[in-house]
Structure 1
Amino acid sequence: MVGERVLKYSVYGDTGGVPVLSQGGSPSTRWKRPDVGRAAEECGVHLVIPDRPEYGGSTRKPGRTVADVVEDVTALADVLGWERFAVSGGSGGGPHALACAALLSDRVTRCAVSGGITPPLVDGPEPDGDEEDPRRNRTSWLAARGEQYIRPSIEEAARSIMSGVEAGGPEFPPDPHFPTPLVPARDDPDAMARLTATFVTSHDGWVDDNLAFANDWGFSLDEVHVPTSIWFGSADDRARKYADLLTAAIPHAEPRPYTGGHIQPANAFRDLLQWLTLS
């Protein structure tokens, strides 16, 4: 519990290993595929993944900012008995990991962000989808105008994803750099449970993440002074542009490109975990 709110989390890997608190993407929940646990075990990492408010059963916190994640992370680290720990965040989890690095610098040892974003540019006319600067995007522009503008877009995206799954699609989009047999997610109960938790029952969390991204984050990127790595895939042009912006804005950030798309392949994920264990 954090005050009157429920905070759900899952534990993976080596419970005697290096403590790492990881923030999932937008949307994403604490339930991860078995390969995540194996990678954490192999890298000697005690990996804890919390659900942000209104994901996976965590209580909603309307009006939350990106920086508000620090309250939950502090409470969870105290329960776990972690005085010092590393943080990571994928995609929409990146800003939340950076918030911890900026505002909990006395406790956070390292910060790794994969496919992360920066504060968006939300003034001016509605972006047309061909903007060179990824900070000008339609999702953030809509979110800056209120929940009633962004929710229909998110619900339509969720319906589209689940329609593809119901038609026999895989749990994750295929990565052309790492071809694997496409297993229909509908044939895997565990995969369907993860997809349902993410795209069916967590719309409020997804909405609130986007509202938080489109408003004041509650900290600035130049406040991040812990060692920070910014990971991005060779096939993810949007993430590469964001990585350039992040490494320019964060004093101790270093770019870490990998071969692949927006979702890290197993080898890149292991490299990220190993980087977090460095002293």
Structure 2
Amino acid sequence: MNGKNDAGAVFDGANSLHGNSVQQSIIDEYLTPRAFEVLMPGGQTIRAYEIGPPDVPLVIGIHGTPSTGIGHIVNYVIGAPLFCRLVTFDRQGYGGSTPQPGRKVRDIVPVVEAILDHLSVEKASVYGHSAGGMLALATAALLPKRTARVACLAGNGPNFGAGGFDYADGTSPLMREEILQGRKGPQETREFYRRLASMDADDIEEQLYSENDRRINRLLAPLREKMTQLLLPVSPFSEEDAYVDDVQSWVSPWGFDLDKIVVPTRIFYGLDDLQVARQHCQWLGAQIQNAEMEEFPYLGHNFNQLMPHVFSWLVRGQRS
């Protein structure tokens, strides 16, 4: 599929608004995403997305649960951080990427490495949001020579850890139930997913997102839907299965040590987050050498508005 030509339709309104060909030319060149596929060993396929100028530093984004890489493309479009190039992807089992049943947190690393090889890029900065945060940290720990910087946005701590840290403590009731059921096994996780899917969407949103988060969700919903229609065909895979694999990977050992991360690391946290307790990010930062932490009032679990700032930190000191 020619993502560039199709996705240009998203910006028709912007073109008529500005009414000049220069504006459309910039959009066509820098803000129109394209989709591509990366073949993994064993025949798996990863569906990836790219946006931004080709001659600027590369950033790789890792999405949370359940989701696809398209949400990160939307964030790039609304912030237009043209000082970096973004590549994101559908994680195993989501969107257009082949499932990997029984995967662990560390199993994201071969995916990131395959994307870098596919793009002929030696090193990039990596960030992950929510459940993607631990995956970005895994990349930094296990692929240090190819990771320039790493950012963890609203990231969860582990289901195990030193000093009595408990993943289920301090989070919202719905998220606490998610992890407690996850500890019981995959079938209980599957049953929780189905209960969640049957709940009223507005009720779920009120439990999981701050008021500002909900405003941003409503604002960006049409753009996200349009991007999904243009870039991602109907997924042949089960989101439920991918979710079960995710949760079971959280409650298992991650497969790497946080204190082995040596690349520059920054933890970002919104003080109005209803999904991830503040202690998660504080605990993560305390385990990583020289990690820095930034906290933001009024921000919840969504980081859409903050992404240009995050991207700016990620590419600091880099050259394409």
Instruction: Mark the CA change 1:156 to 1:184 in structure 2 (over 3 Å): closer, same or farther.
Output: farther
Structure 2 residue 42 is matched with structure 1 residue 6: no
Instruction: Mark the CA change 1:156 to 1:80 in structure 2 (over 3 Å): closer, same or farther.
Output: same
Which residue in the other structure is 2:308 paired with? 270
Structure 2 residue 256 is matched with structure 1 residue 219: yes
Which residue in the other structure is 2:13 paired with? none
Which residue in the other structure is 2:287 paired with? 249
Q: How far is 1:159 from its partner?
A: 3.4
- The separation in 2 between residues aligned to 1:192 and 1:34, in whole angstroms, is 10
Find the structure with the greater CA-based Rg.
2
Structure 2 residue 174 is matched with structure 1 residue 107: no
Q: Normalising by structure 1, what TM-score? A: 0.82
Query: Is 2:170–2:277's contact at 8 Å kept on the other side of the alignment?
Result: no
Query: Is 1:83–1:107's contact at 8 Å kept on the other side of the alignment?
Result: yes
Correspondent of 2:134 among 95, 98, 119? 95
Query: Is 1:86–1:109's contact at 8 Å kept on the other side of the alignment?
Result: yes
- The separation in 2 between residues aligned to 1:117 and 1:180, in whole angstroms, is 22
- The separation in 2 between residues aligned to 1:34 and 1:278, in whole angstroms, is 21
Q: How far is 1:201 from its partner?
A: 4.6
Q: How far is 1:144 from its partner?
A: 2.9
Instruction: Mark the CA change 1:187 to 1:19 in structure 2 (over 3 Å): closer, same or farther.
Output: closer
Q: How far is 1:139 from its partner?
A: 2.2
Moved more, 32-41 or 148-157: 32-41
- SS of corresponding position for 1:42: coil
Query: Is 1:232–1:243's contact at 8 Å kept on the other side of the alignment?
Result: yes
Query: Is 1:116–1:239's contact at 8 Å kept on the other side of the alignment?
Result: no
- The separation in 2 between residues aligned to 1:113 and 1:209, in whole angstroms, is 17
Query: Is 1:174–1:180's contact at 8 Å kept on the other side of the alignment?
Result: no
Query: Is 1:87–1:112's contact at 8 Å kept on the other side of the alignment?
Result: yes
Which residue in the other structure is 2:267 paired with? 230
Q: How far is 1:32 from its partner?
A: 2.5
Q: Normalising by structure 2, what TM-score? A: 0.72
Misfit runs of 4+, over 6 Å: 194-198
Gaps of 5+ in 2: 1-38
Q: How far is 1:142 from its partner?
A: 2.2
Q: Report percent identity of matched pairs.
A: 28
Task: Work out the number of aligned pairs and report it.
Answer: 265
Q: When you count helix as a share of all residues, which structure comes out higher? A: 2
- The separation in 2 between residues aligned to 1:184 and 1:38, in whole angstroms, is 11
- SS of corresponding position for 2:312: helix
CA RMSD of aligned residues (A): 3.5
1:120-199 equivalence runs, <5 A: 120-121=159-160, 131-132=169-170, 137-160=176-199, 163-164=200-201, 175-176=211-212, 182=218, 189-190=225-226
